[in-house]
Amino acid sequence: MKMDRRHFIGGTLALGASACIPPDQSPMGQLAAELRIIEAAGDGTLGVELFDTVSGMSVGLNRDRRFGHASSFKFSLAALLLQRHAAGQIDADKRVTWTEADMLEYAPFTRERIGAGATLRELARATQTTSDNPAANILLRNLGGPAGLTAFWRSMGDEVSRVDRYEPEMNIVPPAEFRDTATPAAMARNVAKIIYGDVLPEAERAELKGWMIATETGLRRVRAGLPEGWVAGDKTGTSGMVGTEGNYIDIGFAEGPKGQPPITFACYFRARQAEGDMAARAELTLSRVGRIIKEFAEPERGLPVIGKLY
């Protein structure tokens, strides 16, 4: 499915009609209220954007607030490799090697392949599906560093998202930090443009989408709240924040079995406590967003409040 600006004309016409509906009574207003309830129950700050890839409608909470990427940037990093490979700017099947000096704490793929090496494509798949940290750093260095990934987002019209450092320093993102951050509104649209737009050729889109579906780190997050029969893929991120906070992220796509429009999502939960059962509580919070996706995708939702369009 290819993005087309014409798909959003109907949404623009709906804006005037929705203005006549009290925000707290409109279908989108009710969904936003549900997101606020989820945030309150989770005891933290929830940032969400749900984006309808056909109409361009969206609903969210704290959608323009900045949150740290943690490992969620690795989805865009994998996409950047596939884009440059398709354009003939880099060979994704080029083999690279690394040493013990490149190793970081979480390295399920690169630890096994140290000395033997791997192709850039294999590193991209590993950093997407397993969140391997050294794989991300090696790949990032081969793609122009943080500036190269930031430029990739800018090329898609995203003037917000940025990467400034490598793993693991990029995880140090206190609430007032601009470095290594994105907003839910920006990232949900990036996912839409990459998976359903023309950023990647069809073959590369399918490859990346398959990697996202094969990713298991998000099975207890947004995907856990989706009904049976939905197809979804994602990229998660988890990091300890400066002080006592934790950052739990899930970005991806969801497709219903009954012809619902594909929905992309970007969810960020900044927990107040990083100890005890907070990880389980954060995942429960994100799974509850999955239930909202089904409601958002239903055709009987009526005239939504318009979100940000392309």
Give 139's contacts (C-beta < 8 A, 6+ positions apart): 77, 78, 81, 120, 123, 124, 127
Is-catalytic flag, 71?
yes
Are 180 and 248 within 8 A, CB to CB?
no
List 67's β-bridge partners, or say none. Answer: 182
Given the residues 167, 204, 255, 283, select the one marked as catalytic. 167
Is-catalytic flag, 76?
no
Residue 248 host element (H or E): strand 246-255
User: Cis (ω within 30 of 0) for the bond into 262?
Assistant: no
Given the residues 18, 55, 58, 71, select the one marked as catalytic. 71
Other Cβ atoms less than 10 A from the Cβ of 207: the count is: 17
Are 124 and 139 within 8 A, CB to CB?
yes
Give 4's contacts (C-beta < 8 A, 6+ positions apart): none
Residue 230 CA: distances (Å) to CA of 77, 197, 208, 261, 268: 26, 21, 18, 12, 22
Residue 233 host element (H or E): strand 231-240
Q: How far does the chain reach from its first CA to its final CA, in angstroms?
A: 16
Q: How many CA atoms lie within 13 A of 118 on its CB side?
A: 20
Hey, CA dihedral for 28, 31, 32, 33, is it positive or negative? Answer: positive
* Residues tagged active-site: 71, 167
